[in-house]
Copies of this chain bind each other. A is one copy, B any other.
Amino acid sequence: MNYCPGLGYSQGVTTAGTARDTTTRTGPGAARQHTLRERNLELVARAVFEVPEPLSRAGVAAATGLARATVSTLVDQLVAARLVRELPAVTGGRAGRPAVPLVPAPRSVVGLGLEVNVDYLGVRVLDLTGDVVSERVVPGALHDSDPAVVLGRLGELAREVTDGVAASGMTVAGARLALPGLVDPRTGLLEVAPNLGWSSLDPVPLLGLGDLAVRIANEAKLAALAELAGGSDVAAPDSFIFVSGDVGIGGAVVVDRALFLGERGWNGEIGHVVVDPAGPRCSCGAFGCLEQYAGKEAMMRAAGLPPDSPLAALVARLAQTGAAAGGAQALPAGRALGSALADFVNLLDVGTIVLGGAYAELLPWLRADVEAVLADRVLAAPFVDLHVRAAQAGPHAALTGGAREVLRAVLAAPAAWV
């Protein structure tokens, strides 16, 4: 698990808000200046969490340049705070003294990812090792829904999950709520989520989660951060366009391992890129947006299925009709998606495209069309290798990205936990 304190979404977008991400401990300490001890604590935490092999105290001293005695004290504090765990001592090397490997503490301090999407509600808890400790995903049909009802229901799910987690002795450090729309992390407002029919909304109080610190973010941005963290076997590319295809289609841009956010983080709205000006009207009010061709419901309708069918039904239908995985025009969405992606690449010059959400599973039936249109339309196509790949972060990746962001904030300021 690789935390990158210099790169978080919250750093890029949030200009207001508290430096700490928990309400479980407050007090005069929060207002103190960033002391040398706090900085050293961060250095030690980073060494333990970022170096792939478990380090001993001596290894941390070597990695950070801090004195061994200082490291030892700080490690003791991180262990006491349950951020770091000591493994059984191992003897080895030339020196006689056994080394105690230090690793991220499992099932101690955890982060909570929450998500409202058009066809599901989700809750996921990750611990500091990156393991999913608990999760709930509940299908729903949330078009033009009542935010109070939906967020109240999500809050209940979250409480059920966090009650279980707390009963096992874990501490929830905070939460991120992923939403399929334009969010303003400075004010905490959701400006608009066209497919939910929500606008100008302060969603956090409606969760009813008391004084748990919850911050909101765009779902595609969080999913892209989950993707950036990489899978267990596959490293993420340093730069990629991430497109998350559900009922709505979200997007994010990663350049040199950092989210590119434009002015407010309201970029990546590929779902509303023009595919055909003579096309159908979109939930946003404009005509011929990508979502009307390659959103999940549009894909269901084009396959003759009810729009709220599960993804498995579409995959089964594709198999039934003998649509060849790898062949062209298996799904009408393919060429539309290729067209909007070509615009994205022409405007951004990022040549690796990671397809998440429903697209990750549908990629075999989309790839031929997407690649053909990219080859036709991207001006630089003859001179660069364009890569189209399925997301590695698994289903509902925004939940993972959100929980990881909470834990990243913990590790960026571990002193609050000591």
Contact = CB atoms under 8 A, between A and B. Distances in A.
A275 B273 contact: no
A405 to B, nearest CB: 20
B349 A192 contact: no
A272 B377 contact: yes
Given A262-B255, A285-B376, A376-B285, A347 B270 contact: yes
A284 B350 CA distance: 19
Contacts of A342: 274, 286
Given A343-B347, A344-B347, A349-B261, A286 B191 contact: no
A113 interface: no
| From A265, A274, A278, A376, residue with most partner B Cβ within 10 Å | A274
A255 B191 CA distance: 23
Interface stretch (A82-90, A315-323, A380-388): A380-388
| From A263, A269, A344, A382, residue with most partner B Cβ within 10 Å | A263
A352 B224 CA distance: 26
Interface in A275-303: 275-278, 284-286
B263 A350 contact: yes
Interface in A231-272: 239, 251, 255, 260-270, 272
The DSSP consensus for interface residues of chain A is loop
A194 interface: yes
A339 interface: yes
A281 to B, nearest CB: 11
Contact of A182 (B348, B350, B379): B379
Contacts of A277: 275-276, 339
A10 interface: no
| From A192, A264, A343, residue with most partner B Cβ within 10 Å | A343
A346 interface: yes
Interface in A359-394: 376-380, 382-384
Lowest 8 CB-CB distances: which A-B pairs, in order? A262-B349, A267-B349, A269-B346, A266-B349, A286-B377, A266-B380, A273-B343, A191-B383
Given A275-B277, A276-B277, 17 more contacts: A191-B382, A192-B382, A260-B260, A261-B349, A265-B349, A266-B379, A266-B380, A267-B347, A268-B349, A270-B346, A274-B340, A274-B343, A276-B276, A284-B377, A286-B377, A343-B343, A348-B348
Interface of A: 182, 184, 191-192, 194, 239, 251, 255, 260-270, 272-278, 284-286, 339-340, 342-344, 346-351, 376-380, 382-384
